């Protein structure tokens, strides 16, 4: 079983090949496809050049199937998806919605793994998860 990523709302798969695919909306209300790398901590972002996203801009991420926004319940600046690993074990992935900000949190039960050089931006939230 490979690692898969799912929508937390409808549980449909968001990954294909070496990409996790989302629809996103920028601050001007323009929508575009955004593809993120499935390796946690790899911040390669693919998008059409006409979909302009400025550094520091906060994006809205949506599921391609149910169109629900993929919001983290921990912090408004984070988006949330579900990861299912090789063993079929599921965990939550919370990642920054802010362009250029590299912070990702992998949460299983009460434990949190942090990734990215900007992860300390939201270290406060870890106290809420793991008191």
| Residue 10 near Zn ion by CB under 5 A | yes
Which tokens go with 116? 């990215």
Please check whether residue 119 is in contact with residue 104, taking contact to mean a CB–CB distance below 8 angstroms.
yes
Please check whether residue 81 is in contact with residue 90, taking contact to mean a CB–CB distance below 8 angstroms.
no
Report, in Å, the least distance between residue 119 CB and Zn ion: 26
| Segment interacting with Zn ion (CB under 5 A) among 3-11, 24-32, 39-47, 79-87 | 3-11
Identify which of residues 79 and 112 has a Cβ nearer to Zn ion in the complex.
79
* Three-class secondary structure of residue 125 per DSSP: helix
Q: Which of 16, 27, 52, 65 binds Zn ion (CB under 5 A)?
A: 65
d(CA 131, CA 125): 10
Identify which of residues 57 and 60 has a Cβ nearer to Zn ion in the complex.
60
Residues near Zn ion (CB under 5 A) are 7, 9-10, 63, 65-66
């Amino acid at each position: 079983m490979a690692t898969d990523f799912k929508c937390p709302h409808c549980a449909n798969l968001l990954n294909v090949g070496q990409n996790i695919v989302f629809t996103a909306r920028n601050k001007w209300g323009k929508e575009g496809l955004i593809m993120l790398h499935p390796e946690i901590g790899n911040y390669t972002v693919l998008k059409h050049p006409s979909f302009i996203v400025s550094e520091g801009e906060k994006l809205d991420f949506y599921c391609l199937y149910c169109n629900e926004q993929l919001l983290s319940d921990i912090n408004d600046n984070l988006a949330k998806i579900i990861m299912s690993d090789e063993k079929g074990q599921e965990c939550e992935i919370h990642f920054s919605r802010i362009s250029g900000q590299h912070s990702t949190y992998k949460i299983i039960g009460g434990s949190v793994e942090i990734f990215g050089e900007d992860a300390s931006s939201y270290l406060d939230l870890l106290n809420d998860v793991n008191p």
